[in-house]
Structure 1
């Protein structure tokens, strides 16, 4: 018990999570959106990226290098940022499907747009999962285990404490492990690829709902690529 408390103390005393990976993900999503074909844009191509960058700058002011501070407005700004990425991408997907149905877009534009939308889908949901689970990155780092909000996802490290020594030593119970952005990025990537959970299981209703929406969007995007491939064979 004492060793467990010691590990948890190390976790709380450690520097906050690095801000760079999620910030880079936002920049990638903004650039990818700005480069979408005009057929799948519902507004000026720079408006949405500008909103995303402004929200990111506001969040960087609060935590420029490490995730060490969280306020109510910063948490809502972070959720708003990921929501903007997701919702505008869903609209782009809808326009893409519409263009496919009407035959108004060229094959190359459809394929490029589908790849960009799939990538943005992965990034947007990774950002939202990262912010929602167990109170967000700051709370996960600083709060006692007993004080953490209920988990939305169960990672492999949360259940391997009774495995062999070289596996169990990195478990949540033994080492104080907590998920960081790359873990949620992997969760989002696998959900968009397999259209279902793989090694990380959703626990809450909102987690299941969000993963269902993401998987559906990813499936529709994949069907666009398949349709493009079939059309190319037919031509």
Structure 2
């Protein structure tokens, strides 16, 4: 049995990706959640230390063997369960899906910094201010609009490469950020976000996140910014 170690569902975008993927494809796993903490003596740090040298979530355990980093986890799952189309079956679509996933994995730093994940919140006024003040965030969003539009046009939908794949799992947290911060999108991309948010794995994660009710102040830096501005 696989075990997936994750952080708080409301905040942990990296944990969300492999969890959503496993759930969507009905791959059995045990969830182990560690509450985020900046205290080095907290369970988050002490329990991860002997498992992964990077001390971050998510981590996938397979009979004691640890795989960390979301992209490595997805590739491991794809090899373990080839019966599932974790990646598109067609070669060029698969290569393009991997390209989009790699871009999400290493890019969009401005958006991730200024619009951290917070699924239970609704922060359109914060989003409006960020878009007005942070041109790098706007550039990130322009790229996302272009890439999603091209992928959906090429595949015909309903997801980025037709059927749900690792690409959709990787962009699910970003879609959540757009919802949280009230970022306007073209109608066809709003429809894609709605479909993604309603897909089984994503919907299950979101429902759990909204039930957590576990406020962690260092995960919500925009609240301090708003108070400083006032």
Alignment TM-score, normalising by the size of structure 1: 0.30
From the two aligned structures, give the one with the greater strand fraction: 2
TM-score normalised over the length of structure 2: 0.30
More helix by share: 1
Larger Rg: 1
